[in-house]
């Protein structure tokens, strides 16, 4: 009897886990974009329900430059290749004045993630090198897999492209610890992507901002991706918007995500 039950579970459980996710169009989410004067897509995956909620599925499945969302991947490559020892090792600022004041200081893997300091992660990519970077891109299956355009530019003005759907697929594997990187590298990056840690939830996130002249568009592109953990459940999100007004539009990525996460039952909002 026990053998029969065990066999039944062996056969049935993989089928349950392999169940196809449900997709739910949310046209009413258009209001979040409309009231802020931007266009874009929003995708939220409810892991417990195995359900995607989406506004503009076609755009969610379309690939764009990852911009600084690639820092999440780049950080794991840096750790795996020894480009940096850990999230605390400091690189000295080169003294070049850049447009964001928080970049103009010494940085670590963690601080450069927090402030999205491009120069630090460019140095990480140079230290990793083209061959090793391509190895990890291929091993993970990240976006279109194309790192043409320069080892320190391919995710900014080069050929790399990824969709909102693929961003969530990548983040789900990071959250579960099933990427081909070491457990240590994945745990470190999960830790340094925490943006809020409240008593009842944890928010992991990373923004991205691709300049229109770099990606050959008529508008800048903004990303916000990540996930929320609450009561043993996880909600993953990927938002991208057209930022015709540049810096004025940048905060809208996060505002839209927070509003939609709250509506999906995952804090935050505030």
Cite the active site residues.
Answer: 68
Count of beta carbons in the 10 Å neighbourhood of residue 84: 21
Is it true that the peptide bond before 268 is cis, omega within 30 degrees of 0? Answer: yes
* CB of 202 closer than 8 Å to CB of 208: no
Paired sense of beta strands 51-55 and 22-25, if any:
parallel
Closest CA to 260 of 230, 218, 231, 224: 224
User: What does DSSP assign to residue 270?
Assistant: -
**Residues in contact with 21: Cβ distance below 8 Å, sequence separation at least 6, in sequence order:** 45, 50, 51, 52
Paired sense of beta strands 40-46 and 233-243, if any:
antiparallel
């Amino acid at each position: 009897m026990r053998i029969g039950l065990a066999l039944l579970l062996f056969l049935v459980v993989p089928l349950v886990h392999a169940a196809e996710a449900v997709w739910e169009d949310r046209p009413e989410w258009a209001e979040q974009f409309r009231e802020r004067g931007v266009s874009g897509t929003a995708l939220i995956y409810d892991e417990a329900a195995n359900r995607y909620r989406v506004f503009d599925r076609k755009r969610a499945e379309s690939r764009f430059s990852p911009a600084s969302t690639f820092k999440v991947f780049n950080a794991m490559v840096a750790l795996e290749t020894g480009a940096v020892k850990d999230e605390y090792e400091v690189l000295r600022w080169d003294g070049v004045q850049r447009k964001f004041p928080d970049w103009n200081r010494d940085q670590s893997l963690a601080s450069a993630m927090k402030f999205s300091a491009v120069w630090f992660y460019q140095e990480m990519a140079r230290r990793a090198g083209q061959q090793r970077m391509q190895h990890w891109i291929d091993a993970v299956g990240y976006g279109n897999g194309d790192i043409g355009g320069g080892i320190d530019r391919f995710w900014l003005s080069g050929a790399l492209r990824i969709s909102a759907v693929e961003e969530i697929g990548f983040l789900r594997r990071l959250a579960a610890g099933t990427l081909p990187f070491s457990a240590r590298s994945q745990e470190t990056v999960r830790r340094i992507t925490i943006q809020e840690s409240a008593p009842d939830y944890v928010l992991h996130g990373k923004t991205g901002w691709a300049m229109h002249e770099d990606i050959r568009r008529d508008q800048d592109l903004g990303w916000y991706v990540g996930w929320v953990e609450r009561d043993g459940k996880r909600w993953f999100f990927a938002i991208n918007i057209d930022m015709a007004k540049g810096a004025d539009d940048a905060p809208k990525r996060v505002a839209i995500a927070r509003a939609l996460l709250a509506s999906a039952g995952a804090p935050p909002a505030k």
